[in-house]
Amino acid sequence: MSDYLEQAEQYRDDVTGFLREIIAIPSPSCEEADVARRIAAEMEDLGYDEVFSDPMGNVVGRIGDGKTKIVLDAHMDTVGVGDSSSWPHDPYEGKLTDGVVFGRGASDNKGAVASQVYGGKLIAGRGLDGADVTVYVVGTVMEEDCDGLALGYFLTETVTGVDAVVLGECTNLAVYRGHRGRMEISVQTRGTSAHASAPERGDNAVAAMAPVVLDVTELNERLADDAFLGRGTIAVTMIECETASLNAIPDSCTIYLDRRLTAGETLESALKEVASLGSAENAKVEVLDYARPAYTGLTLETEKYYPTWVLEPDHPLVAAGAAAGKAALGKTPEVDKWTFSTNGIASAGRLGIPTIGFGPSEERWAHSVLDQCPVDHLVASVAYYAALPAAIAGIGD
Ligand SMILES: [Zn+2]
C-alpha cells in the first residue's frame, strides 16, 4: 500500500462522516449557503492556510503559496429529489450501509467535496511533498443549474493564473479528459389568433411547429460523430404555446431543444443547422440565457452554451493525472471521458486551462434515487488528490 493510501485510510471514518453530514444539508442550486458554511468550517478545522468565500459563494481553501497553481473543484449544489416517495430511503439521511453512503448528492458531487477537503488536509500534512505549488480546494455553486458559471467566475475573478484544474465529478476512479458540449435552444413560430370555430380566419402557430419537431428529430440522425466523444445529439425537450383560450387559434408556439455538441461543433454551427431546416424558415431560433442570482445575490448573465472540450491524450496534465493514480493507488488509472457535462466547459472549454477529472463513484448513480458513493472510493480519492501536487508540479514550465 502506498503511503498516500495508508495516510488516507486514517481519515476513513472522518471523510465518511463528513460526507454524510453534508448530504444532510440540502443544497439545491442557488441555495448552497448552509452547506458552504459547513464546508468552510471543516476546512478551518483541518488547518488550511486560508479559507474564504468569493462573491459568487464558492468556498475556497488554500494550501501553500508556490508557483504552480492547482485547483481541485467539486460542486456543492445538487439537483432536487423529485418524488421523494420513489426513494428507497430518506434522500437527506446520509444512510451508510455495507460500506456505501446513499443520499442526494452522494455521487454528484458531495463525495468529491468530502474527498477533496480531506485530500487538502493530507496535502497540508505532507508539506505539499516539497512541490512549488499552491493548491486551492474549491467548492463551487450552481453547477447543476449552469455548469461552468461559478468555476469560470472563480478562475477569472477570484484566483487568476491557474495552471491546472482537477474536477471531482464521478469517474469511477479513472482519469477523464473531456466531454461533449451542450446548449439549450428555443425555436418560436408565430401565427395569427382567431376564433377556433373558424380556424381558416387564423394562422395556427402550433400547426406551423409540427413539421419543425419532425425535422429536428430527423436532424438528430445525421449529426457529426467523433471517435472519442461520440455523436452530437439534438432532442425536443419541451413545447408550449400562447393562446387566448382553448377556443382560439394559438398565435405563438415555442419548442426547446437540448443539443449535445461533439468535437468541431459550435454554437454558430448548431444554430445554423436548425435555422436552415426548411420547416423553420419563418421561425425564430435562439440560444437561451441564464440569469439566476447566486445565494449571495450576485447575478451573472450568460448564454446557455457550454463548449465541448478535450485534453489531448499525450498532454502533460493527463500524464500527471495518471502518475498520481500510480503513486496513490499502485496502478495506472484508465483514461476516458464523461457522458454528462461538467465545470470543465469553463476551465477548459472557455478559458483553455488544462483540465482533467478524477472522482469517486460512477456517473450512472448521478441524479438517480440510488445516488451513492462507496467509502472505499472516498479513501482512494483522498489518497489520489494528495498525490497530485508532486505529480503536477512544474507542469506550466
Ligand atoms: Zn456534477
Alpha-carbon span 390 to 386, nearest angstrom: 9
Could you say which of 42, 54, 73, 77 is catalytic? Answer: 77
Interval between CA 29 and ligand 1 midpoint (Å):
11
* b/e per residue 361-389 (b: at least 16 CB within 10 A): bbbebbbebebbbbbebbbbbbbbbbbbb
For residue 46, give the C-alpha cell: 483541518
**Burial class for 247, CB neighbours closer than 10 Å (0-12, 13-18, 19+):** exposed
The whole-number pLDDT of residue 396 equals: 60
Mean pLDDT by 10 residues, the chain (397 residues): 96 98 98 98 98 98 97 98 94 97 98 98 97 98 97 98 98 98 98 98 98 98 96 97 98 98 96 97 97 98 97 97 97 96 97 98 97 98 98 79
**385 Cα: distance to centroid of ligand 1 (angstroms):** 18
DSSP label at residue 168: -
pLDDT at 395: 76
Neighbours of 351 (CB within 10 A): 18
Q: Which residues pair with 166 in a beta bridge?
A: 72, 356
Cβ(7)–Cβ(125) below 8 Å? yes
Do 97 and 88 touch, CB atoms closer than 8 A?
no
CA nearest to 249, candidates 188, 202, 200, 189: 202
Q: Ligand 1 centre from 173 Cα, in Å?
A: 15
* pLDDT on residue 397: 60
Tell how far the Cα of 14 is from the centroid of ligand 1, in angstroms.
Answer: 23
- C-alpha cell at position 326: 500510480
Q: Residue written as cell 468529491?
A: 112
Of residues 143, 147, 163, 265, which has the active-site annotation?
143
CA of 242 to the centre of ligand 1 (A): 35
CA dihedral 98, 104, 109, 113 (to 10 degrees): -70
Distance 127 CA to ligand 1 centre (A): 30
User: What CATH number labels 181-290?
Assistant: 3.30.70.360
> If one looks up domain 3-179+308-392 in CATH, what number appears?
3.40.630.10
In the chain, what is the straight-line distance between the N-terminal and C-terminal CA atoms, in Å? Answer: 31
- Burial label for 83, CB within 10 Å (0-12, 13-18, 19+), is exposed
Report field, pTM of the whole predicted structure over 0.85: yes
Q: What is the pLDDT of residue 36?
A: 98
Amino acid at 35: V
Q: Is 77 labeled as catalytic in the residue annotation?
A: yes
Gap from CA of 196 to ligand 1 centroid (Å): 47
Is 143 among the catalytic positions?
Answer: yes
Collapsing DSSP states into helix, strand and coil, what is residue 140?
strand
Stretch(es) of the chain classified as CATH 3.30.70.360: 181-290
Task: Write out the three cell numbers for 383.
Answer: 489518497
**Cα(33) to centroid(ligand 1), Å:** 18
Query: For residue 297, what is its C-alpha cell?
Result: 445575490
| Residue ranges of the chain that CATH labels 3.40.630.10 | 3-179+308-392
Ligand 1 centroid–CA 243 distance in Å is: 38
